[in-house]
Amino acid sequence: MTLKTLTMEWTGDCLILVDQRKLPHSKVFVHCKTFEEVAFAIKDMVVRGAPAIGVTAAFGYVLGAKQFDGKNDEFLEFMKKVRQTLASTRPTAVNLFWALDRMEKVLNESINLDRKSIIKRLEEEALKMAYEDIETNRSIGMHGQNLLKDNDTVLTHCNAGALATVDYGTAIGVIRAAVENGKKIRVFVDETRPYLQGARLTTWELVQLGIETILITDNMAGWVMKKGLVNAVIVGADRIAANGDVANKIGTYSLAVLAKKHGIPFYVAAPTSTIDLTIKDGTEIPIEERPHEEVTHVQGIRIAAEGVKVYNPAFDVTENELITAIITEKGIVKPPYSENLKKLFLR
């Protein structure tokens, strides 16, 4: 049972991840043979993007089960440690916890089987999750491309492409689907400080796809909107609350406010696994704060004065009233989100 995409490869005893810290300068692969190595890869952003993090954690869970070499009555306790280690890596992306819940459910349902059979079922579930993600993203793309017209220019933020998923992408998946359906689409890409996912990753993906791509600094977005150069903003999401508030890469909120000011539709593309109906609104979403060096340094080179204080939240929350529609694999959701997001789970 194997898997190979742009983002990851599963060989059966090793999860191989493209090191997104090294792109676009070099294509380096990180080989994870233990759940601890998978946890580090998530924490240190070797892999990033909510859907990709979830599936990566699922394979980390499988590796944990394979690592165990104790007595049978100690297995469940060991797997609790595996889950806790993986769950502690990135607190904002709900897909991480969604994936671990699925894996734990399979474990509990299989606990009376022999160890080999348990591991087989866990591996099957992780692979199922991976292939589901690819199909989900293609469905998001097909629904979302209906919102774009030929010759539209889209502005996007961070990286919500194939690298943020198992394959194809969410926000970038919408753009890809529009192009595949014969539409000419141009894309403005925010560089996305401080980690530069837009400049390093999204431009790399779009250029390879042959889509016209224009890189701008984050603080140019308002100006290009004012000049009438943008027809739509499309971003991904790391968690969507029950009322439609969206947590996404820091800077997303600013774009939503600017889009509202200039009368530009603001779309969020995300799988239903990113929707967290247990969270009432965006105030309940935990916001991860990243290391200060991400702001004071660029690729290891200091750009800020020694001794300066830093605030580095990785995400912000965009209120639902700023969001025109949420694009999912089950269709396009429009306000009122508190009612219409729930309906998705009844389909």
* Residues that are catalytic: 238
Distance of CA 99 to CAs 62, 93, 206, 320, Å?
12, 11, 28, 25
Query: Would the annotation count 309 as a binding residue?
Result: no
Query: Would the annotation count 49 as a binding residue?
Result: yes
Query: Would the annotation count 102 as a binding residue?
Result: no
DSSP code per residue over 77-141: HHHHHHHHHHHTS-SS-HHHHHHHHHHHHHHHHHTTS-HHHHHHHHHHHHHHHHHHHHHHHHHHH
Query: Would the annotation count 48 as a binding residue?
Result: yes
What is the identity of the amino acid at 139?
S
For residue 227, count other CB atoms closer than 10 A to its CB: 9
The rounded distance, in Å, linking the Cα atoms of 264 and 111 is: 52
Query: Would the annotation count 54 as a binding residue?
Result: no
Query: Would the annotation count 249 as a binding residue?
Result: yes
Query: Would the annotation count 243 as a binding residue?
Result: no
- The SS3 of residue 240 is strand
What backbone phi and psi angles, to 5 degrees, belong to 214?
-125, 120
Q: Which residues does the annotation place in the binding site for substrate?
A: 48-50, 90, 197, 248-249
Q: Which residues does the annotation place in the binding site?
A: 48-50, 90, 197, 248-249
